Amino acid sequence: MRHLLSTKELSRDDAIALLDVAEDMAAVQEREMKKLPTLRGRTVVNLFFEDSTRTRISFEAAAKRLSADVINFSAKGSSVSKGESLKDTAQTLQAMGADGVVIRHHASGAPQTLAMSGWIDAGVVNAGDGTHEHPTQALLDAFTIRRRLHGATSRGRGLDGVHVVIVGDILHSRVARSNVWLLTTLGATVELVAPPTLLPVDTTAWPARVGYDLDASLAGGPDVVMMLRIQAERMHAAFFPNSREYARTWGLDDARFDRLPPTTMVMHPGPMNRGLEIAARAADSPQSTVREQVANGVSVRMAALYLLLSGERGDAA
């Protein structure tokens, strides 16, 4: 793999291979000595044009546990906020000898632009671009589902027959997009539930069913319910009347949670708005995978960095 830009491009075999490497990485995380020497002497830059402490520290932990040198480059308070272009920033990192760049950017497509521009030789990992994709989040979600379902026998498996319902702001969610592609590539069926205003105007090309009625979808007894974060700014742009109406209609409240089969996983990419899209009882229940998702995130990101940066560079994805 040369870059990890989206899950749409990922084949089933590549995705399963990455998840299997992540299983190996997870096994390392259970040892007392958590560090591997694999990327010693390699430099990974976390290039964050958007605030995201959670994703950044997850990548930082992943790189450090592979013994890479880590440079954190935050756009805030740097030359970027003074108008430096993506190109100049990239060339600066190139001059510093970055082997891998983990980029979080507010513009959809920025990681692809960086990877294809010729400004930089480094492998590029998309850590979330605009409202486009967030591939490592989807991979860690898939990893989490697979582990919960298959435990120690996870290796080599896809998610065939798994029924996943994703609920919330699909329109603006890069997590939803990456999950739609990845989970269906792995054999799962995906259902999207949202207010009509928070769905893209045309989803006919998406391999997912789309609906507006959360109760109807939950009545199907899904294996996984994934709740997405509602951003505060959506409430002021006429996407829905107010947070109370949203929570009542599309939130995973106690009553809805109680109707779910006890085997249904409750997922959330974090950070959660408790009381809005998810009630505390659901978030804190044994069915919730929220903390596992965070732990698995490090393993999955270790796997991604390992596949991109170990060995000879330059072979095609």
Partner 1 sequence: MTERFLITGATLATGGRADLLLSDGVIAEVGRIADAAGATVVDADGLVALPGLVDLHTHLREPGYEQSETVLTGTQAAAAGGFTAVFAMANTSPVADTAGVVEQEASLGRAAGYATVQPIGAVTVGLKGEQLAELGAMARSRANVRVFSDDGFCVSDPLLMRRALEYVKAFDGVIAQHAQEPRLTQGAQMNEGALSGELGLVGWPAVAEESIIARDVLLAEHVGSRLHVCHVSTAGSVEVIRWAKARGIDVTAEVTPHHLLLTEDLVSSYDPRFKVNPPLRRAEDVEALRLALADGTIDIVATDHAPHPVEAKESEWDAAANGMVGLESALAVVHAAVVENGLLDWADVARVLSAAPASIGRLAGHGQPLERGSAAEVALYDPAAASDFSLDRLAGRSVNSPYLGRRLPGRVVATFHGGYATYLDGAVRPADEIARHASARLEGTRG
* Largest separation between any pair of C-alpha atoms in the chain: 57
Q: Residue 104 Cβ, how far from partner 1 at the closest point, in Å?
A: 12
Measured from the CB atom, the residue of 23 and 133 that comes closer to partner 1 is 133
C-beta of 87: minimal distance to partner 1 in Å? 6
Shortest distance (Å) from residue 173 CB to partner 1: 9
What minimum distance in Å lies between the beta carbon of 45 and partner 1? 17
Burial 50-60 (b: 16+ CB within 10 A, else e): bebeebbebbb
| β-bridge partners, 166 | 192, 226
Question: Measuring CA to CA, which residue among 184, 279, 188 is closest to residue 227?
Answer: 279
Backbone phi and psi for residue 12, each to the nearest 5 degrees, phi listed first: -60, -40
Q: Which of 177, 229, 234, 268 binds partner 1 (CB under 8 A)?
A: 177
Query: From the list 33, 152, 205, 316, which residue makes contact with partner 1 (rule: CB under 8 A)?
Result: 205
Does 12 show up as a binding residue in the annotation? no
Does position 106 interact with partner 1 (CB under 8 A)? The reply is: yes
**Closest by alpha carbon to 8, among 268, 226, 205?**
205
Tell which positions 57-86 bind partner 1, by CB under 8 A: 85-86
Site for partner 1 in 221-280 (CB under 8 A): none
Residues 232, 235, 240: CA angle, nearest 5 degrees: 140
Residues that bind partner 1 (CB under 8 A): 8, 85-87, 105-110, 112-113, 116, 129-133, 171, 174, 177, 200-206
